[in-house]
Structure 1
Amino acid sequence: MRSYMKEHMPLYVYVSVLFITGVVFGVVIVQALTLEQKQELSRHLGNFFQMVDIGLEWDKQHSFLQSFLLNFKWLALICLLGLSVIGLPFILFMDFLKGVLIGFTVGFMVGEYAWKGMLFALASVVPQNLLLIPALIICSVTSIAFGLHLLKSRFLRQHLSNSLSFSKFIGTTFSLAVLLIVVSLYEALLSPLIMQWVTPILVS
């Protein structure tokens, strides 16, 4: 593990910084929205808060499947891009885009609802992403490292063990897929309950 971290630490730092840059960019985009765009988004959010406040019924099974499939597709796409080698730059773009989406979501809620928006973001956005974001970063680094391994062994004609690297790649991907199940269970079972507890503060 120590050898692995030493070898891949630059990639972890680079991907993490890229993600954080995306978060900052997402917040900046919020500031660039026109008044009409902010009002439209605020109206949709307001309708959602009203529905949650009056006791919106959640289909837990559907919510779990929807959450898992969405997160798994993101994970699978990163893995496929790593296998393709030429897709490595797109992995970095996906990490940046994920940061933009989170930064925009949190930035808009805080901008529109101040501390109430921050409270809702902490309850509905942050918890699952404490697991999801590290999982995506690990997947990205593993995929990039494997893609670079393939590049060296096939195109640069360096004699490297592809089978060992591929087994690590598959093992890591499988472990992260299991972690996504935990994330999806939280989003389906606990997140709605927490949102129902926080929402009355927003609509009051």
Structure 2
Amino acid sequence: MKILKDKISKHIRDNSILYIIIIMSFMIGIASGAFTINTINDIQKENMMKYINNFYDIFGHTNLNPIQVFKQSVLNSFETTFILWLLGATIIGIPFIFFVIGVRGFLLGFSIGFLISELRFKGIIFTIAAILPQNMLILISIFFIAVTCINFSLYILKNRRFSVSDLFSQFITYTLIIYTAFAVMILGGVIESYITPSILYFLKDIIK
């Protein structure tokens, strides 16, 4: 455990600048998503509130299928992981990695911002109960994946004269690291599909 902790600490220290830039990209995305709420009209807000109210009604009278929720969560995480992995395998992919992180932040910022803007206290409770738990693991994994992808892309850029065998070896290591981090994202899917619904059911009288 201590060895793992030391390796994680070293990784963060060695890539502190990259993590700062990635987190800044994510925060810019969150801010943009939150501010976008002010640009949507009342009809759009009303339609979105109908969707949320329908979710409450379905949740209150129907048992959610955790397997389906889990599959969708894993699929969403895999799509993000695959895109980042693919971008990291190219020399020109680095700007697009920051863009993907920003888009992820935008979607999260818009969702949380809308809930809090329209539901106030209930929106805060819903965010804490239904959005943050799984996203903590998922976002940590995405940040780690993004840093790994950028480092691999920089490695290709700096070592353009490497042999095919060296490139293949590094690519295999790169892929294993990426999809090991993806396994952590799957844990986020487990929380979303099996734990979050129980929390929401317990709080349904508060957030409805």
Q: Pick from 31, 40, 59: which aligns with 1:33?
A: 40
Query: 1:12 aligned to 2:19?
Result: yes
- What is the count of residue pairs matched by the alignment? 199
Q: Please report how far the alpha carbon of residue 62 of structure 1 lies from its aligned counterpart in structure 2 after TM superposition.
A: 2.0
Q: Please report how far the alpha carbon of residue 185 of structure 1 lies from its aligned counterpart in structure 2 after TM superposition.
A: 1.0
- Alpha-carbon separation, structure 2, partners of 1:63 and 1:199: 18
Contact kept in structure 2, 1:26 and 1:100, CA below 8 Å: yes
- Which ranges in structure 1 are unaligned for 5 or more consecutive residues? none
Q: Pick from 99, 106, 109: which aligns with 1:103?
A: 109
Query: 1:198 aligned to 2:199?
Result: no
Moved more, 189-198 or 9-18: 189-198
- Alpha-carbon separation, structure 2, partners of 1:144 and 1:64: 29
Structure 1 outlier segments of 4+, above 4 Å: 161-165
Moved more, 78-87 or 191-200: 191-200
Q: Please report how far the alpha carbon of residue 198 of structure 1 lies from its aligned counterpart in structure 2 after TM superposition.
A: 2.2
- Alpha-carbon separation, structure 2, partners of 1:13 and 1:117: 29
Partner of 1:119: 125
Q: Pick from 118, 121, 136: which aligns with 1:130?
A: 136
Q: Pick from 67, 78, 81: which aligns with 1:61?
A: 67
Partner of 1:148: 154
- Alpha-carbon separation, structure 2, partners of 1:81 and 1:118: 35
Query: 1:21 aligned to 2:32?
Result: no
Q: SS state of the match for residue 87, structure 1?
A: helix
- The letter for the 1-side match of 2:136 is L
Q: SS state of the match for residue 86, structure 1?
A: helix
Contact kept in structure 1, 2:125 and 2:207, CA below 8 Å: no
Q: Pick from 174, 179, 199: which aligns with 1:174?
A: 179
Provide the aligned C-alpha RMSD in A.
Answer: 1.9
- Which ranges in structure 2 are unaligned for 5 or more consecutive residues? 1-6
Write the deviation string for residues 69-116 of structure 1: whole angstroms up to 9, x where unpaired. Answer: 111111111001110222221111110000000100010000011011
- The letter for the 2-side match of 1:181 is I
Moved more, 97-106 or 189-198: 189-198
- Alpha-carbon separation, structure 1, partners of 2:162 and 2:184: 34
